[in-house]
A and B are shown apart, each in its own frame.
Chain A
Amino acid sequence: MLRALTMLLASGAECAFETIVPIIIDPDDSAADKTRTVEAMKKYMAIREKLDFSNPNLNKFYKTEIKPVDGMANFGFPLNNTRDCLFKDFIKVGELSKESRALVSLLFSEKNLNSDMKVGFKGNPNIGSVVLNQFGTSQHYKDFANGFKEGDRIFIISSIFGGTGASGFPLLLKTLRSDKSSQSWNLISNAKIGAVTVLPYFQVSQDDNSGVDSSTFLSKTKSALAYYENNISKNGSVDALYYIGDNIPASYANHDGGSEQKNNAHLIELCSALGILNFAKMSDSELAGDTKHFEYGLDSNDDAIHSIVFSDLGKKTKEDIQKPLTQLLLMHKYLTYKLHDEYRHQPWAIDNGLNKAFFDDDFFSNVQAFSNYYVEWLSEMSNNTRSFSPFNIGRIKPLFSLINGKSANRPWTIIPFLLKDYALFDNALNSNFKKWNKAANKEQKFMEVFYRATEKLVQQKFNM
């Protein structure tokens, strides 16, 4: 979901807050999903570093700042003593008093006690609720807390049927609301906190040796929902709670975690990411009072809808993401299919000094890499169940048939060959390049050129 958010932000989707500080709490350092998300965010940061969003710049690509808590590598909150460690060893059962040992034996099953926490809590959030509690006492938490400013908000993302996230959410929430160890505890405990709790939307193939068994996902969900109701919603400890899930489940290979846990991106994650933006946009007064609960609706009557395009999304969503995502995809297509043929000849490049050296440099390679992540992400969503495939992402002609279910406006010119496909793109690039800040660096110029061009194109072709 963080990946989806990163993509949205990269495309320039509107975020009400300037900065997002992701903290990933997951003992499974090796999870492939986590790895590529972190990678994407790092590229995002590297790209954004070269950009400037002050006036008169118009570019919104990579606009919202993503940054880690100071000193936190890979956005991850490091968990102590979980590596190669069984839960019972973690809590040092043998050294407990007889009575506490007895209580632990009651509360935690043998399976709990003997579970290896390297890859998380494998659907045992009750273990997580203890192990993760080192959060509150850590230096990283203090760093986070010290960086917290009035008006800052917190959003917690978790799935309800898993292990780590499922346990981390209530624990984190309780910690945030109750911890008084930092100077800013008062700010935090009174901060607006939102959360998305992801209900099952996929299942894993049956594997009796695995700690993950999707046949229990729904049972677990129902039990946990009841817990949330009683211990999170009812007491108002969260201001906004976003529920999302799907009853047409996608199917993934069964991996407890680790480098093999690499699941295709999913619409649900995108929607969840949108929840963050939604939360960010709400005013304090809107969030006052009892916990607000949100659900996500498509603009479709088809319960079994399989392939979702922009027109199936709600109006607001469409407004928020259709344009930026299309822009970013257009840019991707140009960079991928056209750039290397054209930059030596096109005025937007020549005049801005975007020469070979620029395109060989890190910045561009980051942009290109990120762009590939973006397409990969889109592709995954497209291939998932339910499929979110708003775009035709391949090397297609005509270029502007890229939005599925939406045809481009016909050209108004009488010289159609000049104004179709990449020609039109080049035209858009060149038409804009002189009109902005000459003092800007090459990176800024590059991004500005593409943002303005794509914006013009989507306006022209799709009235966005």
Chain B
Amino acid sequence: MAKILRLHKESNDNITDWGLSKRYGKDVINQITDPTGADAKKEITSIPSPFARIDLAKNAFKWVVDSNDLEGKTIHHKMVSDCLDVAELFFNYDKFSDKLEILVWDKDQEIAELKKSRNEEHRILGASLEMYLEQDAATYNFQDFDRIYLLNYIGPDKPAQMNIIGATSPATLFVSSSNNLRYSSIHLKSNGQDLPFDDDYSPLYQRDFAFQKYFYALRASFGDAKFAQYFPELDAYLLECYRHLTDDQKKTIDALKDDSIQQFEELSIKGNTVEVLGIHLCKNTAFVGDQLVSDFIIKSDKYVGVKPLVLPFQKGNDYITLRYVQDNWSKDYEAPIYDDRKLNERILPNTSEKYPYLTIGDFLEPVIVSMPYEMTDHFFNGNNKDKKTSYLIPLTDRFFEFFTVEDLMGNVATNKKMFEIRSSINGSAEVTLRIPIQKNRYIEYSRIYYTKVEPDLMANKGSAIEKRFGLGVLPLVAFEQGLKPFYRIAFFSEENGSQLIFKNSNEEVEIKSHIIRRNFKPNCSIESYVLEDRFDHIGLDLGPCKNYIIPIFKTVGNATQFTFAVDFGTTNTHVEYSLDGSKNSKSFNIGKEEQQMQRLHKDYGEEIDIKSAFDETFIPNTIGDGDMYSFPIRTALAENVNIDYKKQTNSMADANIPFRFEKAGLPYPPFYKVRTDIKWSNNERGRVTLYLDNLFFLLRNKVLLNNGDLAATKVIWFYPLSMTKSRFNEFKAIWQSLYNKYFGDNLNNLIVLSESIAPYYYYKAKKGLKSNAITIDVGGGTTDVFVVDNNVPQILTSFRFASNSIFGDGYNFSVEDNGFVNTFKDRLKSHLESNQKEMGVRDILNAFESISNLENSSDIIAFFFSIASNKVIQEKNIPIDFLQMLADEEKLKYVFIIFYGALLYHVAKLMKAKGLHMPQTLAFSGNGSRTLYVLSNEKDTLALFASLIFEKVYGEKYVSDKLEVILDNEPKLATCKGGVASRIEDFKFEEVDGLKSSLLGTDDTTFAEGVKYKDLTDDVLNKVANSVAEFIDFIFSLDSENKNFYLNYFNADRRFMTKAKDICLHGLLEYAKQGLAKKKEELESWGLNEESEVEETLFFYPLVPILNLLGSKL
């Protein structure tokens, strides 16, 4: 044996001196122990060829295979890993096409170019390349390749203008650069593996299986035997990797045929397929653009952009037939329950692919809000079958990025509900959410929310907390494009710090106004949200948690044409409506099917304050005949105490119509003050507007909820004749602006009629008026008279002598002195008190208490009147009827004799002065005219009384045609009904004004026309007093001239007749002066002065206090 000077050890050689040996082949090379080999880190640089890199890659594969360790850390493992990275980048080229560029080096062309270069060094380079390509051809398949395709990195952090990171190789298919390529790692993250070119080397079998499959398919496409011949090292590597595959994976690889590569799309550059020795490289079909192709892709029509995957968080085989990333989901896979990374920073579980995915924690909130009330059908109850407890929807905002509320309420595939809540006896609730994915499948997420525990995100444990609050949406209508939405959301919360947010799709909707009318302690808060944009879900934000409320909006049509007539009266307001041009109308109502404010819950159980807050501060559920609330309504507005009319105000937020006024629920909430006397109140144009705005809002909602056509809606409104032109114009502007706001810009649909004329049309159409007819509308503040002679309108006259003149406080009298109040207050009260065990009567008594403390007798009397029509009183048949009590009070008959006597006397005088025939029909309307029943409930008796007055004034007798009196049971409605029935839709203020006529009140012939307030001297007033005195004599003499008519027909107490007459004749001049003073005060508040023309007779000035005195002194 000899010591041979060599590195390897071989025992059987016996060479001395220079002796023939054998070639250093694989065996010898393998026997050379490299002490650093197992962890060699440095790039190997010893290959004496410009194509060293290609050789190194080739040998690296061999080295790794020979080492029997595919997962080593040597430089060879690195080179293999890098080559595979390059292969994968080619495979994923589409995904990185903004970061990678493929350059093509054409062997013949480029070498030829180099060799003819004017640079000697280029020629040297060309010659070198050519020489090695020729002489080393057999080893590297150089003879068989035409082009090398190079990957140039052009993405972020690139260190140089050109950054070749790898290329195709005729020896190993792919080759990497030896440079440090870490700069590109994070930008070139591929599918199913970690960062390319990093220090964590990945053998092929640990890479995304689709990529592996592709690699084996490439081999198959070339022919396995041929591949082994051309790429022996790579082939050996593939075989070695194959051994590490699972049986299933092996099966997949075994099934590959030479055409299996066709399942991938060829990678081509400028029309040329990228190839190596004719092996066509392909693209990863896992991506289309940035979009991963996976069965787990969320099925969302709504979401625009790269759609994330939705992944199950529990292991199991439910989804193993679905393609995950290139490969199917495995039964061992699971997504985390919660992932706090941003979507685009997430790594798909069980891969190292950075791609957005969603898991249960993205969709379900940690907390669910439960409420001990039953939900109405107008809100989505989460398909919860338990009625006693209801829940809000514990979904995240993220859910709504992908799905609409319609999706949420609907089904996913196989007719499964998308969302379900199941409550269990111990108060916990299980929420199931099914997120649709591809292939008609869905991912089912379930979470149990436990009571009295903190949520545990990581354990998928939620927490259920009970909250008490009320909520309503008005109107629950889905507004179509072009229709301006006006929403009010009522919110009554017993939780501190709770607030609502509104979202449309996933956009937060601007809240126009949020009025907190009352803070939440000790009762519920009262809050109103004003929205003028569409929304589709409401978030209840409780600070630490947020749940959603999903209203089920009604879609509406526009088939029906509505006509509304609005009689905005001093005391009462009435609205009639008819459909599609019908002359028949009915009182405005809100039926069960057209509830305007849809509440979240059916009832609020113990939370009475929530229940009453709806009625008190918004609107009752229903309004109409037989309901607690019905039209006509008391003209009243409940304002917030801190309302500021200088700012924008909103109905049902800053103020609302207090339907419960005069009905119940007192004391009134301290935050609100009920205003009456709106119509004639001084200065407050804003208040009138806001009151009417509240009305309009109701009208509009009614139209919407009944498939009405907003733009075709007609609104008829009325004005009293005594209204001055300027005030009329001001009103008109208000009506127009409101019509504009709520119905549109076709102002032809806004019709204005005189209050005086409207009833005529009603009676004419419905009651058959004769040709000579008078309609007298007795309101709260004014009486309007319309005279038709031979069917021709002749006179319109109006005066501030109406029911407030009877029941009010004269000019300056106090409530304490009001006879009616004093006489009946206690009586009514004790009546009620004796019935207070009846349900609801307590409410009325409460109302009584507060109203009787008001400083206005008219309001108190209006309340007295309203008791009889109160639903409770009617349903329980409690015999309380203020009108009847009045009728039974015989001494007070004189008040009504004087009132109606004066009224008819004055009308008769006026007609006579105009030379008109005596009337054949006398039709009364207006709420005030109900007091005619105090005189008699026989129309003939009333007709007789009237005819006596006319006969005496005219000095002639009714011969054949007797005077007929028409009086409706609901005389208030005549105006509105007449408005709806009227055929003259354009009775202009000017035309009506032309019929206007007033006697000044001084004598039988002097008219008010042309007289100005400054002309009203004491002399004039004296004449007025005298003429009133004349009337007093007239009216009292009528009794004696007609066989004690008042006693016999009206049951007037005769004992008080003389006293009554005395009262009537006392202080007439003084009262005339007071009346004028009061009038001037009012004029000033409307910006008028003494230059204004007198628009009504002065005749009634003295009579107003006289009626008051009669009431109190008799």
Question: Which residues of B have CB within 8 Å of A96?
Answer: 114, 122
Closest to B4 in A: A297
CB of B125 within 8 A of CB of A218, answer no
Do the beta carbons of A298 and B4 come within 8 Å of each other?
A: yes
Cβ A174 vs Cβ B135 within 8 A: yes
Interface residues of A in 126-143 (CB under 8 A from B): 126, 128-131, 133-134, 136-137
B48 within 8 A of A: yes
Within 8 A of A (CB), among B1-50: 1-7, 13-26, 28-29, 32-37, 40, 42-50
Do A301 and B36 touch (CB < 8 A)?
no
* B6 CB contact (under 8 Å) in A111, A129, A171, A245: A245
**Which residues of chain A come closer than 8 Å to B18, judged between CB atoms?**
242, 271, 274-275, 278, 294-296
- Nearest B residue to A292 via CB reads B20
Interface stretch, picked from A145-153, A222-230, A330-338, is A222-230
Least CB distance, B383 to chain A, in whole angstroms: 62
- How many A residues are at the interface, by size bracket? 35 or more
Residue of A nearest to B42 (CB): A216
Q: Which residues of B contact A223 (CB under 8 A)?
A: 44, 46-47, 55-56, 59
CB distance from B499 to the nearest CB of A (A): 61
Q: Which of A54-62, A309-317, A355-363, A374-382 contacts B (4 or more CB under 8 A)?
A: A309-317
How far apart are A100's CB and chain B's nearest CB, in angstroms?
Answer: 5
CA separation between A218 and B75, bound complex, in Å? 13
In the complex with contacts A102-B103, A126-B47, A178-B119 CB distance below 8 A = no
- Asked if A219 and B34 sit within 8 Å, CB to CB, the answer is yes
Q: Are the C-beta atoms of A301 and B37 separated by less than 8 Å? A: no
Closest Cβ neighbor of B164 among chain A residues: A105
Complex Cα distance, B51 from A298, in Å, reads 37
> Does A161 lie at the interface of the complex (its beta carbon under 8 Å from any beta carbon of B)?
yes
Residues in B with CB closer than 8 Å to A303 are 3
Residues of A within 8 A of B46 (CB): 123, 125, 160-161, 166, 216, 219-221, 223-224
Could you say which of B14, B51, B53, B131 has the most chain A C-beta atoms within 10 Å of its C-beta?
A: B131
B413 interfacial contact with A, CB 8 Å? no
The answer to whether A401 has its CB under 8 Å from any CB of chain B is no
- Give the size of the chain B interface in residues (CB under 8 angstroms): 83
Complex Cα spacing A101 to B134, Å = 21
**Contact residue among A160, A298, A301 (Cβ-Cβ distance under 8 Å from B5):** A298
Whether the pair B110, A297 counts as a contact (CB closer than 8 A) is no
| Pairwise interchain contact B24-A231, C-beta atoms closer than 8 A | no
Give, as a whole number of angstroms, the nearest-CB distance from B152 to chain A.
6
B-contact 0/1 string along A245-286, CB 8 Å cutoff = 111000000000000000000011001001100100000000
CB neighbours (8 Å) of A16 from chain B are none
Is A415 among interface residues, defined by CB-CB distance under 8 A?
Answer: no
- Tell me the smallest distance from the CB of A361 to a CB of chain B, in Å: 40
Would you call B175 an interface residue if the criterion is a C-beta within 8 Å of the partner chain's C-beta atoms? Answer: yes
CA distance A97 to B114 in the complex (A): 9
B113 sits at the interface (CB 8 A):
yes
Known: A105-B162, A222-B32. A244 touches B5 (CB 8 A): yes
Taking the complex as formed, is B1005 at the interface, i.e. its CB lies under 8 A from any CB of chain A? no
Cβ of B107 to closest chain A Cβ, rounded Å: 10
Specify which of A81, A126, A295 is in contact with B45 (CB 8 Å cutoff). A126
CB distance from A97 to the nearest CB of B (A): 6
Q: From residue B262, how far is it (CB to closest CB) to chain A in Å?
A: 30
Measured CA separation A216–B56 after assembly (Å): 14
* B17 close to A317 (CB less than 8 A): yes
Chain A residue with Cβ nearest B75: A219
For A305, the closest partner residue in chain B by CB is: B3
- Interface SS, A side: helix
| B3 adjacent to A130 (CB under 8 Å) | no
The answer to whether B53 and A169 touch across the interface, beta carbons within 8 angstroms, is: no
Known contacts A125-B47, A295-B13; is-contact A247 B121 (Cβ 8 Å): no
Closest Cβ–Cβ distance, residue B53 to chain A (whole Å): 5
Bound together, the chains give a CA A234 to CA B20 distance in angstroms of 16
When distances are taken between beta carbons in the complex, the residues of chain B under 8 Å from A460 are none
Contact A297:B47 (CB < 8 A) given known A103-B105, A105-B162, A303-B3: no
What residues of chain B lie closer than 8 Å to A233, measured between beta carbons? 23-24
- Closest Cβ of chain B: how far from A57's Cβ, in Å? 29
Tell me, yes or no, whether A393 is within 8 Å of chain B by CB: no
Asked if A130 and B50 sit within 8 Å, CB to CB, the answer is yes
A268 to B3: give the CA distance in the assembly, Å. Answer: 13
Evaluate contact between A230 and B139: CB separation under 8 angstroms.
yes
Mask: chain B, 146-170; 1 = CB below 8 Å from A; 0 = not? 0010101000000000111011000
Q: Which of B922-950 contact A (CB under 8 A)?
A: none
Smallest Cβ distance from B626 to chain A, in angstroms? Answer: 91
The verdict on A124 contacting B127 (CB below 8 Å), with A219-B37, A222-B34 known, is no
* Cβ contact within 8 Å between A123 and B5: no
A231 near B128 with CB under 8 A, answer no
**Nearest A residue to B101, CB-CB:** A102
Which of A99, A125, A134, A167 touches B104 (beta carbons < 8 Å)?
A99
Q: Which of B23, B35, B124 contacts A137 (CB 8 A)?
A: B124
In the complex, B132 has a CB within 8 A of chain A: yes
Q: Is B138 an interface residue, CB under 8 A from the partner? A: yes
B178 CB–A CB distance under 8 Å: yes
B49 contacts A170, C-beta separation under 8 Å: yes
Interface string of B52-69 (1 = CB under 8 A from A): 111110010010000000
List B contacts of A134 (CB < 8 A): 120, 124
Question: Cβ of B37: which chain A residues have Cβ within 8 Å of it?
Answer: 218-219, 222
Chain A hits for B23, CB < 8 A: 229, 233-234, 241, 291, 293
Q: Are B119 and A169 in contact (CB under 8 A)?
A: no
Q: Cβ of B2 and Cβ of A103 under 8 Å apart?
A: no
B36 in complex: contacting residue of A98, A99, A166, A216, CB < 8 Å: A216
- Say whether B106 faces chain A, with CB atoms less than 8 Å apart: yes
Within 276-301 of B, Cβ neighbours of A (below 8 Å) are at none
A303 to chain B, nearest CB (A): 6
| Chain B residue at minimal CB-CB distance from A302 | B3
Q: Does A190 contact B (CB under 8 A)?
A: no
Please state if A129 and B28 are interface contacts (CB–CB under 8 Å): no
| Alpha-carbon separation in the docked complex, A80 to B62 (Å) | 38
User: CB of A441 within 8 A of chain B?
Assistant: no
Contact B45 A101 (CB under 8 A): no
Contact B1 A224 (CB under 8 A): no
Q: Does B836 contact A (CB under 8 A)?
A: no
Complex Cα gap A336–B818 (Å):
158
Known A-B contacts A227-B48, A316-B17; the reply to A99 vs B121 at CB < 8 A is no
When the two chains form their complex, are residues A293 and B21 in contact, meaning their CB atoms are under 8 A apart?
Answer: yes
* Chain A 100-119: CB-based contact to B (< 8 A → 1; otherwise 0): 11111111111110000000
CA distance A294 to B13 in the complex (A): 12
Any B CB within 8 A of the CB of A188: no
Do A109 and B124 touch (CB < 8 A)?
no
B13 near A109: Cβ-Cβ < 8 Å: no
Chain A: CB-nearest residue to B149: A102
Q: A99-B104, A100-B105, A225-B29 are in contact. Are A246 and B45 (CB under 8 A)?
A: no
B1059, chain A: closest CB distance, angstroms: 123
- Is B200 in contact with chain A by the CB < 8 A criterion? no
Give the residue of B1, B26, B48, B120 whose beta carbon is less than 8 angstroms from that of A301.
B1
C-alpha gap A131/B120 in the complex (Å): 11
Q: Which residues of chain A are within 8 angstroms of B2 by Cβ–Cβ distance?
A: 297-301, 314
| Chain A residue contacts of B745, Cβ below 8 A | none
* B265 in contact (CB, < 8 A): no
A61-103 vs B, CB cutoff 8 Å, 1 = contact: the mask equals: 0000000000000000000110000000011100111111111
Other-chain contact of A106, B45, B110, B122, B177 (Cβ < 8 Å): B177
Known A-B contacts A102-B105, A231-B135, A315-B17; A218 and B113 likewise in contact (beta carbons under 8 Å): no
Interface residue? A193 (CB, 8 A): no
Residues of A within 8 A of B32 (CB): 218, 221-222, 225
Q: Known A-B contacts: A106-B53, A129-B132. Give 5 more (CB < 8 A).
A: A102-B167, A137-B124, A170-B48, A294-B20, A296-B4
In the assembled complex, 8 residue pairs joining A and B whose CB atoms fall closer than 8 Å, in A order, are A107-B52, A222-B34, A224-B46, A242-B18, A278-B17, A296-B6, A296-B19, A313-B17
Top 3 A-B residue pairs of the complex, sorted by shortest distance between their CB atoms: A220-B46, A314-B17, A314-B16
